[in-house]
Chains A and B, each alone.
Chain A
Amino acid sequence: MPATDEDIIRDLLHRYTDQVRPPASIAAEVAARQRRRDRRRVATLAASGAAVGTAAGLIAVVPGHSSPAPGQKPPEIRLTADQRILYHLSSAAARQQQGQGRYAVMSTEGTDVTDTSVIDSRTGNMWSYQRGTDGTPSGKSYSRRYSPTAAQFAAMPTGRAALRAALIAEWKSATKPAPHPVRVNGSKGSVTLVPRPVIVSDDDMVFQQASYMLWNPLVGSALRSALYKVLAAVPGVTVNPSAHDSMGRAAVEISRTDDSGLPGGKSDKITYATYENPATGATLESTITYPPGSDVVTPQDPHGNHTVVDTTVYLSTTWANAVPADPYGG
C-alpha cells in the first residue's frame, strides 16, 4: 500500500493508464505520411532553389538535341508514341488557367489517410487537416514555407534543357542520400557493414524531381507544360495512355523504375508513377512502389518482405481567398 502522497499519486497515474495501448497503425501511418511529405518537400525545396535563378546559359544535356551549325537545317525530331502522348499532355496543361484565389485547397487520400492541405500561394505556408479513420485520429498541422510560392515557380526556366539542368542541380542541393551499409567479407571470414555512398543517375533525379513537382497546384501552366516535355526526354519512361487511377478515373500513367539508387550505381528498383488527367494535365494520383527488401515496413509487413505501394490520390483542388476551417471538424 502506498505510504506517501507522492507514492499515491504515482500509483494512481500508473493504474489509470495501465490499459492504454496505442493502435499499431499510427506509427506506420505517420512514417508513410512523412515519406509522402518528404517526397513533396524534395520537389519544393528544389523548386525554391531553382527559382532563385538557373543560369539561362546552361547548355542542353538532353542527348541528341545540340544546336545546328549556322546555315545547316535543324535535324528532324521524331517523337516516339510515348513522347507524343506527353507532348499532348504538355499542350493540355499549357491551356489551363491558374486558379483564382490566394489559397489552394487540395483534398488528398493516402493509404488509410484522408487529408486536406491548404497552401498559401504567396508564402508557401501550409495547413494540413487530417480526417481520422480506424486507428488514426484526426489531426492538423501547420508548416511554414512548405512549398515555394507561386511567384517562385513562375520564375523557373521553361526551356527543356535549362529546366532539366535546374532539376538535377536542385535535386543535388536538396537531397543528400544517406550512406548505404554494405556487407563486406573480411579476410578472416568476418562480416562488417561499411557505409558506401549512394549513386543516383541524372535521369533518376530528373524524373523524380519533375514528377514530384506535378502534384503542386502552385505550379503554373507554363512550368507544368515544360515538365511534361522534360519527362518526354528521359530514357526509361513508360507512358500508358489508357490507364485509370485507383478511383477509376481515366488517366495517363507516366512511370519509371530507378536505374540507380544503390552504391555503385545499381538500381534500387523503386518505381515512381504519376497519373495525369489527359484533358487538363492535372495530377490525379502518384505512387511509389518499393520492391521487397526495401526496408519499407507497414503494420501488415513489419519486416519489409513484400512489395509496398505508397499511394496518394488527389481528389480535388479548389481555390479560396481565406484559409478554410477544418473540414473534418477538428
Chain B
Amino acid sequence: MDRRQTRAFEQFCAESGAELLRIATLLAPDPHTAEDVYQETLQRLAARWSRVDNPRAFCRRVMHNIVVDHTRARARRPELRLIDARDTTDPRSADPHHSVELWPSLRAALDSLTVQQRTVLVLRYFDDRSESEVAGLLGISAGTVKSTASRAIAHLREFPGLAAIFTTTDSMV
C-alpha cells in the first residue's frame, strides 16, 4: 500500500466506516466483538486494497466470513458473557417503536438466528440490497435468500419481547 493508496483507503474508511460498524454491530453478538470484526475487516481490506474492485461488497463478504469464524470459535469455547449494560430506562418507552427496552430483546433475537439468517436480514433490510445482490455477496441463490429472510422474520415475529411490536402493528393495520 503506497502513500496514495493509504489516502484512498482512509478516505473509504471515513465515508463507509460508520455504515460498516453498524453492520458489524448487527452481525456480532456484542459491541466489543463488533469492533473486532470491524477492525479485522479493515485489516483484510487494507491487505488487498490494490486488488479489490468493490470495497463495499468485499467488506460485507468478509464480515460475514469473520462472524461465521467467530461463531464457530465461540461454539468450541463458550465464554462467560457479561451482562449487557445498555440503558433500559428510556422515558420514551410508551411508544413501542422508540423503546430502548427493545434493544436487549432485539439483540437476543438476532443472536438466536443462524449467522446466515442474520446476515441475510441485515443485508436485505439494513443495507437495502436486493435479493440478487445478497445472493451474489453470499454465494447462494436468490431463492435461498428469499426463504432465509422469510424464516428469519417469522422467527423474530414470535420472539419474546419483540412479538408485541408486530402484534401492535397488526392491530393498527
Q: Is the CB of B5 within 8 A of A27?
A: no
Please, how many residues of chain B have a CB less than 8 angstroms from a CB on the other chain? Answer: 49
Q: Which residues of B contact A295 (CB under 8 A)?
A: 3-4, 6-7
B122 touching A297 by the CB < 8 A rule?
no
Expressed in whole angstroms, the Cα–Cα distance for A17 and B14 within the complex equals 17
Q: Are A3 and B10 in contact (CB under 8 A)?
A: no
Supplied contacts A2-B169, A23-B35, A297-B6, 13 more A-B pairs, CB within 8 Å = A1-B169, A5-B166, A8-B165, A9-B153, A9-B156, A15-B98, A26-B39, A27-B42, A30-B42, A34-B1, A139-B40, A139-B43, A177-B2
- 1-40 of chain B: CB within 8 A of chain A: 1-7, 9-10, 13-14, 17-18, 20-22, 25-26, 32, 35-36, 38-40
The one of A27, A35, A136 in contact with B14, judged by C-beta atoms closer than 8 angstroms, is: A27
Chain B residues with CB below 8 A from A11, complex form: 97
Contact (Cβ within 8 A) A26 B17: yes
Which residues B146-173 have CB closer than 8 A to chain A?
153, 156-157, 165-166, 169, 172-173
Q: List 22 A-B contacts (CB under 8 A).
A: A1-B169, A3-B173, A5-B166, A8-B166, A10-B125, A12-B165, A13-B122, A16-B26, A16-B103, A17-B126, A20-B18, A23-B35, A31-B10, A33-B43, A34-B6, A34-B9, A34-B43, A34-B46, A37-B47, A138-B36, A295-B6, A330-B36
- Asked whether, in the complex, the Cβ of B46 is within 8 Å of the Cβ of A13, the reply is no
Tell me if A13 and B3 are in contact (CB < 8 A): no
A residues within 8 A CB of B14? 27
Picked from B21, B40, B49, the residue with its CB within 8 Å of the CB of A141 is: B40
Interface residues on A, range: 35 or more
Q: Judging by beta carbons under 8 Å apart, are B1 and A31 in contact?
A: yes
CB closest residue in chain A, given B46: A34
Complexed CA–CA distance, A7 and B102 (Å): 16
Q: Which residues of chain A (277-313) have a CB below 8 Å from chain B?
A: 290, 294-297, 304
CB distance from B9 to the nearest CB of A (A): 6
Residues of the B chain whose Cβ atoms lie less than 8 Å from the Cβ of A14: 126
Given contacts A5-B153, A6-B153, A33-B43, contact A21 B125 (CB under 8 A): no
Task: Report whether B21 and A12 are in contact in the complex, using a CB–CB cutoff of 8 Å.
Answer: no
How far, in angstroms, from A27 to B47 measured CA to CA in the complex?
13
What separation, in Å, do the CA atoms of A26 and B42 have in the docked complex?
9
Contacts of B7 in A (CB 8 A): 295, 297, 304
Chain B positions 117 through 139: 1 when the CB is less than 8 Å from some CB of chain A, otherwise 0: 00001100110100000000000
The yes or no answer to A154 lying at the interface (CB within 8 A) is: no
B21 nearest in chain A by CB position: A22
The 10 closest A-B pairs by CB, nearest first: A27-B13, A295-B3, A17-B22, A137-B35, A34-B46, A13-B126, A22-B21, A10-B125, A22-B17, A30-B42
Chain B proximity mask over A31-49: 1 for CB below 8 Å, otherwise 0: 1011101100000000000
Query: Shortest beta-carbon distance, A147 to chain B, in Å?
Result: 15
Report chain A residues within 8 Å CB of B98.
15
Q: Does A69 contact B (CB under 8 A)?
A: no
Query: Which residues from B are CB-within-8-Å of A30?
Result: 13, 39, 42-43, 46
B92-106: contact bitstring with A at CB < 8 Å (1 yes, 0 no)?
A: 000001100011001
A94 to B128, CA, bound (A): 62
The reply to whether the CB of A247 lies closer than 8 angstroms to some CB of chain B is no
Interface check A81, CB cutoff 8 A: no
Within the complex, what minimum Cβ distance (angstroms) separates B149 from chain A?
8
Contact with A along B50-78 (1 / 0, CB 8 A): 00000000000000000000000000000
Across the interface, A5 reaches (CB within 8 A) one of B25, B39, B157, namely B157
Determine whether the beta carbon of B42 is less than 8 Å from that of A21: no
